[in-house]
Amino acid sequence: MSERFVVVGGDAAGLSAAAKARRADPDREVVVLERGAWVSFGACGIPYYVKGEIPELEDLLVTSPEKLVGKYGIDLRRHHEVTAVDPEAGRVTVDGGGERYELAYDDLLLATGGHGATPDAPGGDLDGVFTVRSLDEGRALREYLTPGAGTRPGVPTPPTDRFHEHLGEVEAVAVVGANKIGLELVEAFDARGLAVHVVDDGAHVFERGPLTLPPFGPAAAGIVEERLRERGVELHLDSRVERFVGADGAVTAVETGDERIPVDAVLVDEGVEPNAELAAGAGIELGATGAIATDAYGRTSAPDVYAAGDCAEKHHHLLDEPVHLPLGLAANRGGRAVGATVAGTPTRVGPVVGTVVMKVFDLEVACSGVLDAETAREAGFDPVTETVTTISRAHYYPGGSRIVVEMAAGADDGRLLGAGLVGEEGCAHRVNAVATALHTDLTVGELADLDFGYSPPFGPVWDPVLTAAKAVDGDLG
């Protein structure tokens, strides 16, 4: 009998692991247990589905269940929820198919993901208060804004406590948390003709980061705030939500310490919390972040049990400590590594440096590494920071626009610590050069000497990243 690899969770990390294990060891039995209906989907596309740019929710599926079963030979069991893990016995308890059963494993991967955090404020359970981390939540939000937009004839309504009959016309919406998903959904709400309020307890957007993601830097924050106001978005900064006010079970206002903001719907983006309860109940060690602690290969404190994706910690290359970064690439990469390891080829999950890219209306906003001075000092660095304003194309080539780059380096050795970029074009992919430099421990002087490509339609002869590196290197003397 072949060894059995059981995967709990059917999205990025879980299915990457399952597919890799089957490819590397075709004789291995691979069972994926997913408590919901959806598997293998692109959650990062939900804001564009809510906006209407992505017509159908099914368009966000990466791989169909039929392909997972037919091509890869995975035993995929949807609507099967793992309720307990027994590492000593090497088995899990499952509720599914109308029964409860136990399933033995030789190797187990916990890829249970994360959920949207909510403020510790009364009224969070009112109708019209949403977090968006799953396809069901995205469909429920779209349906709430425009009845009928989230459903199609012949397609069953997915089971979710946030999918309900519309309670009134939505004209104003509040985004609580000026973070990545929240600000991407601002554009979606604006496109639907809604009045949009952004409520955040920081003095600026991105100031704290949403529990887990690094701040983009003050330069980016200022430009994003200016663009939001230009588009008519009302910013309520330095404002902590005290409670959500409701009538007849539906939200009608957001109340802060200073004001009462009438709204018809609320989107909360206070960050992502790991779904680590299953691991904790099995006595598996959690890290300081609250996510599941793992080693370089994704192994947990329990024998033959791995964790990957948004439920697990990652190792930050620059900070040299565990962090909780719920990002898509890290989840896919971590799952793939675990799949290779259980199939017989030990593979490191790999470190992260916190590379994040987002879109706010027509702005590209990107960062990698550490820009926050306090965080850098806590990690033992003495940061030196420069902000440069340059152009996205050669000055004589039409269509160019401004790019602002904020970059930090260590004062003692010049090691690159991080950079943030914001502009209307040319930021989203340039940040990958910064990530590469961080992973390879380059100094800003070494970064400034790299041989980047040049062509007038795509950038000036001195690329914005090189220009910023030169500026910081000059400050270091």
pLDDT digits (tens, 9 = 90+) for 391-431: 999 999 999 999 999 999 999 999 999 999 999 999 999 99
Catalytic residue among 44, 311, 367, 427: 44
pLDDT digits (tens, 9 = 90+) for 12-61: 999 999 999 999 999 999 999 999 888 888 888 999 999 999 988 889 88
**What DSSP designation does 352 have?**
B
Pairing mode of beta strands 383-391, 402-410: antiparallel
Q: What pLDDT is recorded for position 179?
A: 82
| Active site annotation includes 367 | no
Cβ–Cβ under 8 Å, residues 415 and 441: yes
Q: What pLDDT is recorded for position 159?
A: 41
pTM for the whole structure: 0.91
CA distance 87 to 90: 5
| Residue 386, Ramachandran bin (φ over 0: left; ψ between -120 and 50: alpha; else beta) | beta
Mean pLDDT of the chain: 90
Q: How confident is the model at residue 70 (pLDDT cuts 50, 70, 90)?
A: confident
Which amino acid, one-letter code, is at 335? G
**What DSSP designation does 392 have?**
S
Q: What pLDDT is recorded for position 167?
A: 44
Q: DSSP labels for 17-46?
A: HHHHHHHH-TTSEEEEEESSS--SB-GGGH
CA distance 204 to 223: 11
Can you list the domains of the chain with their CATH numbers? Answer: 4-113+275-342 (3.50.50.60), 117-270 (3.50.50.60), 362-475 (3.50.50.60)
pLDDT digits (tens, 9 = 90+) for 299-347: 999 999 999 999 999 999 999 999 998 989 999 999 999 999 999 999 9
The position carrying tokens 């008519």 is 232
Q: What pLDDT is recorded for position 117?
A: 85
Report whether pLDDT(370) > 70: yes
Q: What pLDDT is recorded for position 166?
A: 42
Q: How confident is the model at residue 98 (pLDDT cuts 50, 70, 90)?
A: confident
